[in-house]
A and B are shown apart, each in its own frame.
Chain A
Amino acid sequence: MPNKEVSNRKASDKEASNIQSANSIDEQQLRDDEAFINSLYDEVEREQNHKQSTAQPSELLDRRIINAAHQVINVKPATNKKQSRLTWLNGLATAASLTLVISLVVQQQGQILPPADSAVSLINNKSSIDSGPAAAPINSKQSFDTEMLSTKAFEISGPPIAEQTGARLAALSNETVERKEKSQFTTTKILTTSKYEKVLVEGGLQGYSLAKKQTTPAYSQTEMSEPIVADAQQSSSSRQKVTKGNLTAPIKQSSPMMSLVSAAAPIEFKAFTIELFEQYKTQNNSLVRSKKILWSLIEEQKNSYDIRLYQADNTVIYYRLDKTDFVINETTLITSLPASTEIKNQFTAIHLNKP
């Protein structure tokens, strides 16, 4: 038994030594092979030494590669600079655009522009008149003057100017009417763009400032269908174009629009007595101009006027003025306006109906 173990051990030792010797032979062989190849290389390279050193890429390739290396390094910062410059320019452009837009908006808000509605109403009028059976012939000059008038009227934008010119315009208007009556020129029916001129004449400031709101296509069609006598000789350069004809235009009692609005918003009107009138008159006289009592006509009934009265503290009271007791300046009688419109008139435009 021990002999067998010894023999096995010997066998395994032998095997291990065989493997070791095989490995060493392999290693030796590998070294020999390496030496052999190295010797061959040496032999070739001894003569080829110069040749090997010249075995290199062409100069053209060298240049291409080095140029590419330089380009990548140089281009990158340049690109960054360009990008940063572009970013800066973009920011500036955005800021400039915003500034421009904001300034335009602010400017337009501050500016009183002729309402686009007026042009619409003019067109509507023209079409209604042209198509209507009782359409009157429209003189092109007169039409032009009317447009100019409208434009001029809208130019009045400030309260002082409007108020100063109000009385003068009224006077001029009267003169015009007188001249018209005397003149040999035939009067023709023309369209005015709106009746706001009346307001300008009488009320000055309020006329225009509210005019913008007052025109609606529905209103315009109703209103403008009414023929108005105007002076054919009117000058387009002055507000003398506001004529008596305008003032004497027949008043429509109630427009469909008005009744619609009235129906939509029923208002309780207090009776406006003579005592109340006297009180307001006294109060109005004592008030400073900016605090004066104002009123706006809501609707003219057959026997009464429905008004909205603005007190000094800006509170609103609705009154019904009996026509037997009160008279309102014709220039302020803008009827057929929607109830929502507010043309504020001076309290002085209301008078007692006394002989």
Chain B
Amino acid sequence: MSQQSATAEQHDQEGTDEALMLAYSSGNASAFEQLYQRHKQVVYRFFTKQCASTAIAEELCHDTWLKLINNHSSYTVSAQFRTYLFTIARNILIDYQQKKSTTSEENTNENIEIPASNEPLTTENLLLADALTKNIAALPENQREVFLLKQESGFTIEQIAKITAQQKEQVKSSWRYALQRLRKGLRHYA
């Protein structure tokens, strides 16, 4: 326990995610604000790219952060904070998808919304962005997940294996196939 607190102090000095989470667990609310500012965008993008509308993405974001808040007292530094956060996010997403499948909602590309931009893109780039989004959405679920975690969130294969509770080779394979599919689908934009 004392070792953990010593580690927490050390992390606090460094200002790592883990230290901030520990500080929040011990009652420092501003530590959470810092954490949130650091990761809110990545989490949000993870959800928006997972075939969810912005409204649903926000809802899923809310659920993810709320779960983190509610479990703050049981948080221990066993892995990177980001891994922990995305494990929660992934579980929330899986729950959502299960609910969605039970309500027989169609998981089509029509639900995908390209986030509105203040600055209009050029036609070419607009088309490319649209194609990219659609192709990502068209990926099988496991490949899409791995792709987004690696490409958008910047996780390594090892970290993704941890988050998704899969073998490293399996993740690597998913990554490879996802890239091949995307390349095939976007070959016109080369």
Contact = CB atoms under 8 A, between A and B. Distances in A.
A33 B40 CA distance: 29
A37 B151 contact: yes
Interface in B69-122: 69-70, 72, 115, 117-119, 121-122
Interface in A153-186: none
B36 A65 contact: yes
B69 A68 contact: yes
A72 B179 contact: no
A57 B44 contact: yes
A36 B32 contact: no
A47 B122 contact: yes
B44 A55 contact: yes
A72 B128 contact: no
Interface residues of B, number: 40
Nearest to A64: B62
B82 to A, nearest CB: 17
A109 interface: no
A36 B189 CA distance: 10
B27 interface: yes
Interface stretch (A38-46, A90-98, A310-318, A333-341): A38-46
A341 to B, nearest CB: 72
A44 B48 contact: no
Interface stretch (B2-10, B11-19, B159-167, B180-188): B180-188
B118 A50 contact: yes
Interface string A253-269: 00000000000000000
Contacts of B44: 55-57
Contact of B29 (A36, A56, A62, A70): A70
B171 interface: no
Given A30-B176, A69-B69, A73-B29, A55 B186 contact: no
A47 B66 contact: no
B88 to A, nearest CB: 13
B132 interface: yes
A6 interface: no
Interface in B32-80: 32-33, 36, 40-41, 44-45, 48, 57-58, 61-62, 65-66, 69-70, 72
Contacts of B27: 73, 77
A51 interface: yes
A66 interface: yes
A250 B72 CA distance: 92
Nearest to A58: B58
B27 to A, nearest CB: 5
Nearest to A34: B179
A37 B139 CA distance: 14
Nearest to B180: A33
B1 interface: no
Interface of B: 24, 27-29, 32-33, 36, 40-41, 44-45, 48, 57-58, 61-62, 65-66, 69-70, 72, 115, 117-119, 121-122, 125, 128-129, 132, 151, 176, 179-180, 182-183, 186, 189-190
Given A51-B119, A57-B57, A64-B62, 7 more contacts: A32-B183, A37-B179, A57-B41, A65-B66, A69-B36, A69-B69, A70-B29
Interface of A: 26, 29-30, 32-34, 36-37, 40-41, 43-44, 47-48, 50-58, 61-62, 64-66, 68-70, 72-74, 77
11 contacts: A29-B180, A41-B132, A43-B189, A48-B117, A52-B45, A55-B44, A56-B41, A57-B44, A61-B62, A65-B62, A66-B33
